[in-house]
Amino acid sequence: MPIITVENLVKKFERITAVNNVSFEVEEGTIFGFLGPNGAGKTTTINILCTLLSPTSGRLFVAGYDCIKEPANVRKAIGIVFQDTTLDKDLTAYENLIFHAYLYNVPKNEMRDRINEILRFVGLYDRKDDLVKKFSGGMKRRLEVARGLIHKPKVLFLDEPTLGLDPQSRTNLWEFISELPGRHNVTIFMTTHYMEEAEVCDKIVIIDHGRIIAMGSPDELKRTVGGDVVYIKTTDNTNARKEIERLFGFDVAEKDGELYMACAMGDTCIPEMIRTMGEKVLSVRLQRPTLNDVFLKLTGKTIRDENASENDSVKEHVRAYRRRR
């Protein structure tokens, strides 16, 4: 049974339809990616799943509970890391976590151990008595993820967890997130608009203008844009080209001393080519489509081309202002 089920979700804000008839399922123990440009309806969907907003219509279930009828049970079963920091900067890391543990009724005799363990896991144990306002962006994010895990939720929502982080912290955070389902027995529901970050997902849903436009594993989605391109260099390109065209039926072209051809499943056809041509092969490389190519094909624009709306630039402004404080 899926841990999250969304059926025909619609959310309207006055005249604007933010989410338009969206349905999907998330399997337990997986990393699920909810992708789309700014304003596509990702955060709205998360807020409805977290019971912060009520839907205009549709049905939603998280961990077996109805988000509309049993919000209290849903809240117990989930942890959330919002797009903007929701830490109290005037409290220490430890105090932020204690606050959370009390709110979620973590048994008192387990609190201290759980908090210390999770602080070690996110690498902040040495800083636990420092005020959060002294933390870097990456540390705050890790602390928020830690906080979201203290009450052992079944699902952890991460809304744009890497927003505003430098590339190194982003890589670290993703390594850390990809370990979570195995180590903490939790399902991850995340949004991002950095397509390359979605590679860690087991399943992806892409939405644009409030509608689902694609769904599948990263590999499946990439295959929809026409598969891989194989580049091959041989001792005798002219003969090799004829041979490949005759044996495999590919359209082969040559560029800069390399033969190249589109083929649906590059990873399986490379070994075959090498088997037939033997030692004549000097080098082989495979170029795979990226999730950005997928998005480009589906929407005619890359995900980050989107002009930031006025609202977003205001948000950015506020964020920058807060970071300076």
Using CB under 8 A, which of 63, 91, 200, 225 touches another protein? 91
Which of 185, 146, 231, 217 shows the shortest CA–CA distance to 3?
Answer: 185
CA dist., res. 277 & res. 235, Å (int): 10
- Tokens 């260099």 — which residue? 233
Using CB under 8 A, which of 1, 15, 72, 278 touches another protein? 72
68 lines the binding site for another protein (CB under 8 A):
no
Compute how many residues bind another protein; rule: CB under 8 A: 31
Q: What is the DSSP string of 184-228?
A: H--EEEEEES-GGGGGG-SEEEEEETTEEEEEE-HHHHHHTTT-E
Taking the CB of residue 202, how many other CB atoms lie within 10 A of it?
A: 16
CA dist., res. 188 & res. 179, Å (int): 10
Using CB under 8 A, which of 90, 219, 220, 267 touches another protein? 90
Of the candidate spans 19-27, 70-78, 206-214, 232-240, the one that interacts with another protein by CB under 8 A turns out to be 70-78
Of the candidate spans 48-56, 112-120, 172-180, 262-270, the one that interacts with another protein by CB under 8 A turns out to be 48-56
Using CB under 8 A, which of 4, 22, 87, 115 touches another protein? 87
Shortest distance, position 80 Cβ to another protein, whole Å: 6
109 lines the binding site for another protein (CB under 8 A):
no
Of the candidate spans 44-52, 214-222, 249-257, 258-266, the one that interacts with another protein by CB under 8 A turns out to be 44-52
Which of 129, 135, 132, 133 shows the shortest CA–CA distance to 115?
Answer: 129
Nearest CB to another protein, comparing residues 122 and 259: 122
CA dist., res. 200 & res. 175, Å (int): 9
Burial group, residue 157, by CB count within 10 angstroms (0-12, 13-18, 19+)? buried
- What backbone phi and psi angles, to 5 degrees, belong to 53? -125, 150
99 lines the binding site for another protein (CB under 8 A):
yes
Nearest CB to another protein, comparing residues 84 and 272: 84
Q: Which residues bind another protein (CB under 8 A)?
A: 13, 50-54, 72-73, 75-76, 78, 80, 82, 84-91, 95, 98-100, 102-105, 147, 322
